[in-house]
């Protein structure tokens, strides 16, 4: 069975100047990928403490996305934000909780400064640790999580969440927080989402499903209102982690050939849901 020439978007890929960088985007394109959301990847080591320090790293992410578009036909979009792990990484580096929070908020401010730039469509990853932390760290992380949702709403961009996997109850909580911030639920993207795709269960948030065979098949048992991602880290010490850059196109083709998606489902996943979440036209 021949597959249609329809858009294919990977919703969550990191690029690094120390990794494959644009070569990963070339691999994505050769596999059939057409559109890509490049997610800001913090530098190794202690996070910056200043707005300028964060901004320099985020501008590097924009540059990588621009370079990828110059040497491929892949359309690239960008999401910028201080990863929640940067807050706890600061604590591991002997900053106290107030200092760590100030460093993280500097990242939020730097991202906000850049949200009006061309191709920037989202604030993220923001959220909270996906691992156990002390109560005071958890409470502070949640406060900054909600601050991030407010920033996304005020700047009319989507928010990409990095959190624990989540369940129906936590999806309901995040949806409530988005509503209180003035951010439409359809513009809140749950990165590395479990296959909770039915809107009654995810409360209108947008699942971004890791492109493993089992996860995608489980998601499709509910609905086709989701996006696909690899969470490719572009880390030379972990080649191919989390999934390689070819996987979203390959999985899309496999699902189509197996009869698990048709043209309509393909377009929902790779055109309609990204348009609702990010305001982008992948079929233009």
pTM attached to this predicted model: 0.97
Beta bridge partners of 231: none
CA atoms within 13 Å, Cβ hemisphere of 2: 3
| pLDDT score of 159 | 98
Provide mean pLDDT across the span 23-33.
98
What residue ranges do the domains of the chain occupy?
9-278
Query: What class does CATH assign to 9-278?
Result: alpha beta
How does the average pLDDT of the chain come out, rounded? 96
Q: Is the pLDDT of residue 100 over 70?
A: yes
Report the C-alpha gap between 274 and 279 in whole angstroms: 7
| pLDDT score of 1 | 65
pLDDT tens-digit readout, 103-126: 999 999 999 999 999 999 999 999
Torsions phi, psi for 161 (to 5 deg): -100, 130
Provide mean pLDDT across the span 63-90.
97
Query: pLDDT exceeding 90 applies to what percent of the chain?
Result: 94
Q: Is the pLDDT of residue 148 over 70?
A: yes
Alpha-carbon dihedral 86, 110, 12, 122, rounded to 10 degrees: 130
């Amino acid at each position: 069975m021949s597959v249609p020439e329809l858009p294919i978007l990977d919703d969550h890929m990191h690029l690094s100047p120390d990794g494959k960088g644009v070569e990963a985007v070339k691999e994505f394109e050769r596999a059939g990928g057409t559109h890509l959301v490049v997610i800001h990847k913090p530098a190794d080591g202690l996070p910056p403490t200043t707005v300028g320090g964060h901004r320099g790293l985020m501008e590097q992410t924009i540059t990588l996305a621009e370079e990828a578009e110059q040497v491929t036909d892949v359309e690239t979009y960008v999401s910028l934000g201080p990863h929640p792990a940067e807050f706890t990484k600061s604590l591991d580096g002997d900053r106290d909780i107030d200092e760590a929070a100030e460093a993280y908020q500097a990242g939020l401010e730097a991202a906000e400064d850049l949200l009006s730039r061309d191709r920037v469509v989202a604030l993220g990853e923001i959220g909270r640790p996906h691992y156990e932390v002390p109560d005071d760290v958890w409470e502070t992380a949640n406060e900054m999580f909600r601050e991030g949702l407010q920033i996304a709403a005020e700047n009319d961009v989507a928010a990409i969440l990095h959190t624990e996997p989540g369940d129906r109850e936590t999806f309901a909580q995040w949806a409530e927080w988005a509503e209180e911030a003035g951010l439409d639920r359809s513009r809140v993207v749950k990165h590395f989402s479990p296959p909770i795709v039915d809107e009654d269960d995810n409360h209108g948030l947008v699942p971004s499903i890791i492109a493993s065979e089992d996860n995608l098949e489980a998601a499709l048992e509910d609905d086709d209102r989701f996006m696909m991602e690899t969470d490719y880290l572009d880390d030379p010490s972990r080649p191919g982690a989390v999934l390689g850059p070819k996987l979203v196109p390959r999985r899309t083709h496999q699902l189509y050939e197996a009869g698990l998606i048709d043209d309509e489902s393909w377009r929902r996943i790779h055109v309609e849901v990204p348009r609702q979440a990010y305001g982008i036209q992948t079929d233009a």
